[in-house]
Structure 1
Amino acid sequence: MTTPVLRATPELVAIAWLKTVVGDRVSTTLPKPGTDGSLSWAGGGFVTVTIVGGTPNLYTPLRESAIGVDCWAANPGSQKPPWNKAAVLAEAVQAACYNHPAIPQALTLPDGYPQARVMSAYTTGEHRRIPDDPSSYARYSIPGLVLAWTEAPA
Protein backbone atom coordinates (compact mmCIF):
# COMPACT_ATOMS: atom_id res chain seq x y z
CA MET A 1 0.00 0.00 0.00
CA THR A 2 1.36 3.40 -0.93
CA THR A 3 1.36 6.38 1.36
CA PRO A 4 -0.92 9.15 0.08
CA VAL A 5 0.79 12.35 -1.00
CA LEU A 6 -0.11 15.26 1.26
CA ARG A 7 -1.15 18.38 -0.63
CA ALA A 8 -1.55 21.95 0.50
CA THR A 9 -5.17 22.94 1.11
CA PRO A 10 -6.85 26.35 1.17
CA GLU A 11 -7.45 25.99 4.91
CA LEU A 12 -3.81 25.17 5.69
CA VAL A 13 -2.56 28.04 3.51
CA ALA A 14 -4.99 30.54 5.06
CA ILE A 15 -4.00 29.55 8.59
CA ALA A 16 -0.28 29.70 7.78
CA TRP A 17 -0.62 33.13 6.12
CA LEU A 18 -2.70 34.56 8.95
CA LYS A 19 -0.15 33.29 11.49
CA THR A 20 2.39 35.57 9.81
CA VAL A 21 -0.01 38.44 10.54
CA VAL A 22 -1.44 37.78 14.03
CA GLY A 23 0.85 35.10 15.43
CA ASP A 24 -0.12 31.67 16.64
CA ARG A 25 -3.73 32.68 17.39
CA VAL A 26 -5.43 31.19 14.32
CA SER A 27 -7.48 28.04 13.75
CA THR A 28 -10.75 26.83 12.29
CA THR A 29 -12.50 27.01 15.68
CA LEU A 30 -12.13 28.96 18.89
CA PRO A 31 -10.22 27.12 21.61
CA LYS A 32 -12.43 25.69 24.33
CA PRO A 33 -12.38 27.37 27.74
CA GLY A 34 -10.14 25.75 30.34
CA THR A 35 -11.61 23.62 33.13
CA ASP A 36 -11.73 26.75 35.28
CA GLY A 37 -13.57 28.68 32.55
CA SER A 38 -10.49 30.69 31.56
CA LEU A 39 -9.83 31.60 27.94
CA SER A 40 -6.21 31.07 26.89
CA TRP A 41 -6.69 33.51 24.01
CA ALA A 42 -8.38 36.33 25.94
CA GLY A 43 -5.22 38.43 26.19
CA GLY A 44 -4.68 38.99 22.48
CA GLY A 45 -7.82 37.73 20.78
CA PHE A 46 -8.18 34.94 18.24
CA VAL A 47 -8.84 34.51 14.52
CA THR A 48 -10.92 31.76 12.93
CA VAL A 49 -11.11 30.87 9.25
CA THR A 50 -13.73 29.27 7.03
CA ILE A 51 -13.23 28.51 3.36
CA VAL A 52 -16.14 30.18 1.57
CA GLY A 53 -15.19 29.65 -2.07
CA GLY A 54 -12.54 30.34 -4.60
CA THR A 55 -11.40 29.52 -8.09
CA PRO A 56 -8.65 27.09 -9.00
CA ASN A 57 -7.01 28.03 -12.29
CA LEU A 58 -8.01 25.80 -15.16
CA TYR A 59 -4.53 25.53 -16.73
CA THR A 60 -1.97 26.18 -14.01
CA PRO A 61 -1.78 25.07 -10.36
CA LEU A 62 -2.69 28.54 -9.09
CA ARG A 63 -5.51 28.69 -6.54
CA GLU A 64 -7.53 31.73 -5.52
CA SER A 65 -9.17 30.78 -2.25
CA ALA A 66 -11.84 32.95 -0.64
CA ILE A 67 -11.71 32.78 3.13
CA GLY A 68 -14.14 34.06 5.72
CA VAL A 69 -12.18 35.50 8.63
CA ASP A 70 -13.60 36.15 12.08
CA CYS A 71 -11.64 38.14 14.64
CA TRP A 72 -12.60 37.44 18.25
CA ALA A 73 -11.87 39.10 21.56
CA ALA A 74 -13.12 38.41 25.07
CA ASN A 75 -13.15 40.21 28.39
CA PRO A 76 -13.38 37.42 30.99
CA GLY A 77 -15.45 38.46 33.95
CA SER A 78 -17.22 41.23 32.05
CA GLN A 79 -20.35 41.35 29.96
CA LYS A 80 -18.88 44.20 27.89
CA PRO A 81 -17.35 42.91 24.62
CA PRO A 82 -13.89 44.39 23.88
CA TRP A 83 -14.77 45.63 20.38
CA ASN A 84 -11.53 47.53 19.83
CA LYS A 85 -9.41 44.45 20.53
CA ALA A 86 -11.28 42.46 17.86
CA ALA A 87 -11.15 45.41 15.43
CA VAL A 88 -7.36 45.63 15.84
CA LEU A 89 -7.03 42.03 14.61
CA ALA A 90 -9.25 42.75 11.59
CA GLU A 91 -7.24 45.87 10.76
CA ALA A 92 -4.00 43.88 11.01
CA VAL A 93 -5.30 41.46 8.37
CA GLN A 94 -6.28 44.37 6.11
CA ALA A 95 -2.91 46.06 6.59
CA ALA A 96 -1.09 42.82 5.69
CA CYS A 97 -2.91 42.81 2.35
CA TYR A 98 -1.40 46.24 1.62
CA ASN A 99 2.10 45.15 2.65
CA HIS A 100 3.16 44.52 -0.94
CA PRO A 101 6.89 44.03 -0.22
CA ALA A 102 5.94 41.02 1.98
CA ILE A 103 3.97 39.33 -0.83
CA PRO A 104 4.80 36.97 -2.59
CA GLN A 105 5.57 35.00 0.50
CA ALA A 106 6.66 31.41 1.11
CA LEU A 107 4.76 29.61 3.86
CA THR A 108 5.73 26.52 5.81
CA LEU A 109 2.78 24.19 6.31
CA PRO A 110 2.56 21.40 8.92
CA ASP A 111 5.02 18.50 8.75
CA GLY A 112 4.62 16.33 5.68
CA TYR A 113 2.94 19.01 3.58
CA PRO A 114 4.74 20.92 0.82
CA GLN A 115 5.45 24.60 1.23
CA ALA A 116 3.02 27.04 -0.33
CA ARG A 117 3.65 30.41 -1.90
CA VAL A 118 1.12 33.22 -1.57
CA MET A 119 1.23 35.44 -4.65
CA SER A 120 -1.38 38.01 -3.59
CA ALA A 121 -3.80 38.79 -0.78
CA TYR A 122 -6.78 41.13 -0.72
CA THR A 123 -10.13 41.52 0.98
CA THR A 124 -13.46 41.70 -0.82
CA GLY A 125 -15.20 43.92 1.70
CA GLU A 126 -14.83 45.92 4.88
CA HIS A 127 -14.84 44.08 8.18
CA ARG A 128 -18.00 44.49 10.20
CA ARG A 129 -19.05 44.15 13.80
CA ILE A 130 -21.19 41.11 14.59
CA PRO A 131 -23.30 42.09 17.63
CA ASP A 132 -25.33 40.08 20.11
CA ASP A 133 -22.96 37.22 20.80
CA PRO A 134 -24.53 35.31 23.72
CA SER A 135 -21.10 34.77 25.32
CA SER A 136 -20.31 38.53 25.22
CA TYR A 137 -17.38 37.95 22.88
CA ALA A 138 -16.51 40.75 20.47
CA ARG A 139 -16.47 39.55 16.88
CA TYR A 140 -15.53 41.32 13.68
CA SER A 141 -16.06 39.47 10.41
CA ILE A 142 -14.10 39.95 7.18
CA PRO A 143 -16.46 38.68 4.49
CA GLY A 144 -13.75 37.58 2.12
CA LEU A 145 -9.98 37.33 2.22
CA VAL A 146 -8.72 36.12 -1.14
CA LEU A 147 -5.32 34.43 -1.27
CA ALA A 148 -3.81 33.53 -4.63
CA TRP A 149 -1.39 30.70 -3.93
CA THR A 150 0.37 27.68 -5.29
CA GLU A 151 2.29 24.78 -3.86
CA ALA A 152 6.02 25.45 -3.89
CA PRO A 153 8.07 22.94 -5.85
CA ALA A 154 9.81 20.39 -3.66
Structure 2
Amino acid sequence: MSLRLRPTPELVATAWLKTIVGDRVATTLPKDNASWAASGFCTLVVAGGTPNLYVPLREPAVGVDCWAVNPQSQKPPWNKAAALAEAIQAACYDHPAIPQTLTLPTGYPQARVLSAYTTGEHRRINDDASSYARYSIPGLVIAWTEVPS
Protein backbone atom coordinates (compact mmCIF):
# COMPACT_ATOMS: atom_id res chain seq x y z
CA MET A 1 0.00 0.00 0.00
CA SER A 2 1.37 3.37 -1.00
CA LEU A 3 0.73 6.35 1.25
CA ARG A 4 -0.58 9.49 -0.37
CA LEU A 5 1.52 12.58 0.28
CA ARG A 6 -0.36 15.16 2.36
CA PRO A 7 0.52 18.79 3.05
CA THR A 8 2.11 19.39 6.44
CA PRO A 9 2.12 22.53 8.57
CA GLU A 10 5.85 22.87 7.90
CA LEU A 11 5.43 22.68 4.11
CA VAL A 12 2.52 25.13 4.09
CA ALA A 13 4.27 27.65 6.37
CA THR A 14 7.42 27.46 4.25
CA ALA A 15 5.46 27.99 1.03
CA TRP A 16 3.50 30.92 2.49
CA LEU A 17 6.62 32.60 3.87
CA LYS A 18 8.29 32.22 0.46
CA THR A 19 5.52 34.40 -1.01
CA ILE A 20 6.81 37.16 1.29
CA VAL A 21 10.59 36.72 1.56
CA GLY A 22 11.35 34.63 -1.52
CA ASP A 23 13.56 31.56 -1.31
CA ARG A 24 15.09 32.85 1.92
CA VAL A 25 13.22 30.46 4.20
CA ALA A 26 13.77 26.90 5.43
CA THR A 27 13.64 24.85 8.61
CA THR A 28 17.38 25.28 9.18
CA LEU A 29 19.81 28.10 8.59
CA PRO A 30 22.22 27.46 5.69
CA LYS A 31 25.73 26.77 7.00
CA ASP A 32 27.28 29.05 4.36
CA ASN A 33 26.16 32.50 5.47
CA ALA A 34 27.64 34.06 2.31
CA SER A 35 24.63 32.66 0.44
CA TRP A 36 22.20 34.80 2.48
CA ALA A 37 24.32 37.62 3.91
CA ALA A 38 22.97 40.20 1.45
CA SER A 39 19.31 39.41 2.04
CA GLY A 40 18.87 37.76 5.44
CA PHE A 41 17.12 34.45 6.04
CA CYS A 42 14.10 33.04 7.91
CA THR A 43 13.84 29.74 9.73
CA LEU A 44 10.68 28.17 11.10
CA VAL A 45 9.53 25.50 13.49
CA VAL A 46 6.00 24.29 14.10
CA ALA A 47 5.38 25.11 17.76
CA GLY A 48 1.80 24.00 18.28
CA GLY A 49 -1.76 24.46 17.14
CA THR A 50 -4.82 22.25 17.03
CA PRO A 51 -6.32 20.70 13.91
CA ASN A 52 -10.08 21.25 13.68
CA LEU A 53 -12.02 18.32 15.11
CA TYR A 54 -14.76 18.25 12.48
CA VAL A 55 -13.42 19.70 9.23
CA PRO A 56 -9.98 19.41 7.59
CA LEU A 57 -8.89 22.89 8.68
CA ARG A 58 -5.42 23.24 10.14
CA GLU A 59 -4.18 26.16 12.24
CA PRO A 60 -0.59 25.54 13.31
CA ALA A 61 1.35 28.05 15.38
CA VAL A 62 4.77 28.50 13.82
CA GLY A 63 7.81 30.08 15.42
CA VAL A 64 9.75 32.15 12.90
CA ASP A 65 13.28 33.46 13.34
CA CYS A 66 14.57 36.22 11.04
CA TRP A 67 18.35 36.24 10.65
CA ALA A 68 20.92 38.65 9.26
CA VAL A 69 24.71 38.64 9.19
CA ASN A 70 27.52 40.89 8.07
CA PRO A 71 30.50 38.59 7.35
CA GLN A 72 32.90 41.59 7.34
CA SER A 73 31.92 42.76 10.82
CA GLN A 74 31.23 41.49 14.31
CA LYS A 75 28.35 43.99 14.56
CA PRO A 76 24.99 42.28 13.98
CA PRO A 77 22.85 43.98 11.27
CA TRP A 78 19.73 44.31 13.43
CA ASN A 79 17.76 46.43 10.98
CA LYS A 80 18.06 43.82 8.22
CA ALA A 81 16.69 41.07 10.49
CA ALA A 82 13.94 43.38 11.79
CA ALA A 83 12.94 44.25 8.21
CA LEU A 84 12.23 40.57 7.49
CA ALA A 85 10.06 40.29 10.62
CA GLU A 86 8.20 43.48 9.67
CA ALA A 87 7.59 42.18 6.14
CA ILE A 88 5.97 39.05 7.60
CA GLN A 89 3.83 41.15 9.98
CA ALA A 90 2.78 43.44 7.12
CA ALA A 91 1.77 40.40 5.04
CA CYS A 92 -0.55 39.32 7.86
CA TYR A 93 -2.35 42.68 7.56
CA ASP A 94 -2.69 42.36 3.77
CA HIS A 95 -6.06 40.62 4.11
CA PRO A 96 -7.07 40.72 0.42
CA ALA A 97 -3.83 38.90 -0.53
CA ILE A 98 -3.96 36.21 2.16
CA PRO A 99 -6.56 33.81 0.80
CA GLN A 100 -4.36 32.06 -1.71
CA THR A 101 -3.57 28.66 -3.06
CA LEU A 102 0.02 27.51 -2.56
CA THR A 103 1.92 25.07 -4.71
CA LEU A 104 3.87 22.63 -2.55
CA PRO A 105 6.77 20.36 -3.58
CA THR A 106 6.24 17.81 -6.33
CA GLY A 107 3.84 15.04 -5.36
CA TYR A 108 1.95 17.06 -2.75
CA PRO A 109 -1.52 18.51 -3.34
CA GLN A 110 -1.91 22.26 -3.12
CA ALA A 111 -2.93 24.00 0.09
CA ARG A 112 -5.31 26.93 0.45
CA VAL A 113 -4.32 29.53 3.06
CA LEU A 114 -7.37 31.22 4.57
CA SER A 115 -5.82 33.52 7.17
CA ALA A 116 -2.51 34.39 8.82
CA TYR A 117 -1.77 36.36 11.96
CA THR A 118 0.89 36.66 14.64
CA THR A 119 0.29 35.96 18.31
CA GLY A 120 2.90 38.37 19.63
CA GLU A 121 5.37 41.07 18.68
CA HIS A 122 8.68 40.00 17.24
CA ARG A 123 11.60 40.51 19.60
CA ARG A 124 15.34 40.88 19.36
CA ILE A 125 17.39 37.89 20.49
CA ASN A 126 20.70 39.16 21.86
CA ASP A 127 24.01 37.51 22.58
CA ASP A 128 24.40 35.29 19.54
CA ALA A 129 27.96 33.93 19.64
CA SER A 130 28.25 34.12 15.83
CA SER A 131 27.30 37.83 15.74
CA TYR A 132 24.14 37.09 13.80
CA ALA A 133 21.21 39.45 14.22
CA ARG A 134 18.07 37.51 15.07
CA TYR A 135 14.48 38.59 15.56
CA SER A 136 11.98 35.99 16.73
CA ILE A 137 8.26 35.93 15.93
CA PRO A 138 6.82 33.82 18.76
CA GLY A 139 3.77 32.60 16.88
CA LEU A 140 2.61 32.87 13.30
CA VAL A 141 -0.77 31.15 12.94
CA ILE A 142 -1.68 30.09 9.42
CA ALA A 143 -5.17 28.67 8.84
CA TRP A 144 -5.16 26.36 5.83
CA THR A 145 -6.82 23.40 4.21
CA GLU A 146 -5.71 20.87 1.63
CA VAL A 147 -7.05 21.51 -1.88
CA PRO A 148 -8.88 18.38 -3.06
CA SER A 149 -7.21 16.83 -6.09
TM-score, normalised via structure 2 length: 0.98
Matched, 1:71 2:70: no
Q: CA offset at residue 4 of structure 1?
A: 1.4
Q: CA offset at residue 142 of structure 1?
A: 0.2
Q: CA RMSD in A?
A: 0.7
Displacement over 3 Å in runs of 4+? none
Matched, 1:28 2:27: yes
Alignment correspondent of 1:17: 16
Alignment correspondent of 2:107: 112
Distance in structure 2 (CA, Å) of the matches to 1:118 and 1:65: 12
SS in 2 for 1:39: helix
**Equivalences, count:** 149
SS in 1 for 2:17: helix
Q: CA offset at residue 143 of structure 1?
A: 0.2
SS in 2 for 1:91: helix
Q: 1:8-62 deviations in whole A, cap 9, x for unaligned? A: 00000000000000000000000012xxxx5200000000000000010000000
Q: 1:84-131 deviations in whole A, cap 9, x for unaligned? A: 000000000000000011021100000000000000000000000000
Q: Which residue, out of 79, 83, 87, partners 1:84?
A: 79
Alignment correspondent of 1:46: 41
Uncovered stretches (5+) of structure 2, i.e. residues with no partner: none
Identical columns (%): 77
Uncovered stretches (5+) of structure 1, i.e. residues with no partner: none
Which amino acid is 1:16 matched to?
Answer: A
